[in-house]
Structure 1
Amino acid sequence: MMGSAMPVFPAHAATPERGHSDLVLLVDDMPDNLAMLHDALDESGYTVLLATQGAAALQRAAQALPDIVLLDAMMPGMDGFEVARRLKASPATAHIPIIFMTGLTDTEHLVAALAAGGIDYVTKPIKPREVMARMGVHLGAARQARQDASQARQARNALDAFGYASITVRAVDGRIIWQTPLARALLQAHFGNPPGAADPLALAHRAPAPAEQWVPAPVQAWLRGHVLAGDAAERLDHAQAEPPQLSIGQGTRRLTLRLHRQAGDSAGGGDWLIVMREDSNAKLIESMGLAFKLTAREAEVLYWVVQGKINRDIGAILGASPATVKKHLERVFAKLGVETRTAAAAMALNRMRQLHQQFDG
């Protein structure tokens, strides 16, 4: 049996408090292995969660979402290979790196471990220092991947907040990698609802894409002419500027699309970011509200301040008294952390200018 100093978490236990340490799920049906590794990991500052059976490992992984899994390959009942396959099949746990611990050194078993979703393996008898060295490599890569994903989400949220929307297209085959909700909304507003059939960007050899990945025919033609054509990647590699933008007008609203090359395989054309922006008073006001957490009326007041209007003029435009406009403006100042209308206008203009420089420069 394991020593009393070794914590055992029942199946219904809440996720242990990890603080700033990495959470390790340690899965092994042998108490001695668990005790030795638990003590070494704990002394090194890791937070450790334990499981002695495959079913318990799956449950605890789903509950706690550990940073890494140390998984015994051979266990009675559900073995480690099946545990790994199920973890990788679940969207919630598929990203978690798995290191197999195995006493089997035959090539076919090591290949099976990697094929099941393992990122690495260590052989028994377990050497804690070796295990932690392997863990350090994969935890560092996992942290970087999470940081990159977080930064990408923040960038997309910032784009959406200022009325921009974005789609990423893989140039080699036109596959849409992701698109923001605002991108779908803008396409629908300017081109109507998508047909329920295939993605117009899908090539003949590809399976139909979901309806939400629909791109209208004018945008499709623009992409094919500048990115998806057979020699587009070669031509673009020699070009000094990015492809010309596409501008589509609808009444007082205008949708502008620009292409920006992202990191990728230049031989295959890389990935392309489509940045869309709709210009209209209403959209700009909405963007200011989102960016600075303003109410709809506060955002309207800030918009007209940026346009150089005084309180009396703003009141006439909005159908409110100058005193009411002044109250709204005072709340705007408080939310922006400024004291004057000049400072408020400068802050709003600066935020918009930063995005313009990043995506239009």
Structure 2
Amino acid sequence: MPDLMSEEKSPAAQRLLIVQALSVQPLAEVLEESGYELTRAGDVPSAQAALADLTALPRLILMDMELPDLAWPACVSLLRELAASGVPVITLSRRQDAQRGAALRDAGATDCLLKPVRLSELLALIERRIHPVNRAPVAEPQRPVASMTVRERDGHCSWQTPQARLLMSQYFPAPWADHARLPPEVLAWLHREALRRRAGAAPSGLTVAPRAGQLRQRLSFNLMPADPEVIGAGHWLLVLHEGDEAALVSRLAKSLDLPLSDAELLYWTLGQPLPRQQVHELGLSEQAYDGRMRTLCERLGVQDAAQAVARARHALMPQG
């Protein structure tokens, strides 16, 4: 097969290669009506020939992962071959568990969408891939999760991440940090908030000022839902943020109309799939994390965590 990135070939302004069963017409018709020039391929040889024979590479490839008479491994192999051209590839598939999603990304897919696809979202995604806009980077977590599990009856900190331990020592004098116990003002808030939560009240956080003379931000505490099997019966999970991060989580909750706990979960998922270590740092089992993400996706009206993260990144994009 010829070198797809040879100097004779340059990307065509609005040309797309759509790899899909030729009997499926609606999507191609919508793309043509939207002003794109399409090259259609319905099987492996025609897809390979389309890239090899074009005098100019397409700007983007749209690949349906359900080609006629082609098994999943062969589809992934074709995806890898198409992605090797350097052209962004958007895949469409009906089923995408974690293993299949990872296989698509490993094969070079730029975006993985689940069918049925909202055409407005697909067109917007194509436009972003063809004409990327240089914008300021999205704010993302700058450090691992700062969290701690606390026994409700006496404020004993059963477990802390190194980040939480550092923040507590910086904001509160001994003996509280040394003895791994919440200072009185934080423990009093914990007791009030626990009662409010049991009564069904909306979550409310706590923000404290730094010690006198210290040039630090304010520190916020949020009480988060967690699995008793992970953090222990009679315990609560506290997540700590300094001022900038707390503002970002609040902004995410407001922009997407999410409960604070869902905004917190989504914030820590930005950028990369959530490391399993961080799942436990948020007081969740892997099963509970997967369940929380499914519920969050339903709230946002998206199909998977990748689309939820895309919504979050857009919500945190600097304005203007």
TM-score after normalising by structure 2: 0.33
Name the structure, 1 or 2, with higher relative contact order (CA <8 Å, separation 6+). Answer: 2
Q: Name the one with the larger helix percent.
A: 1
Tell which structure's C-alpha radius of gyration is larger: 1
TM-score after normalising by structure 1: 0.31
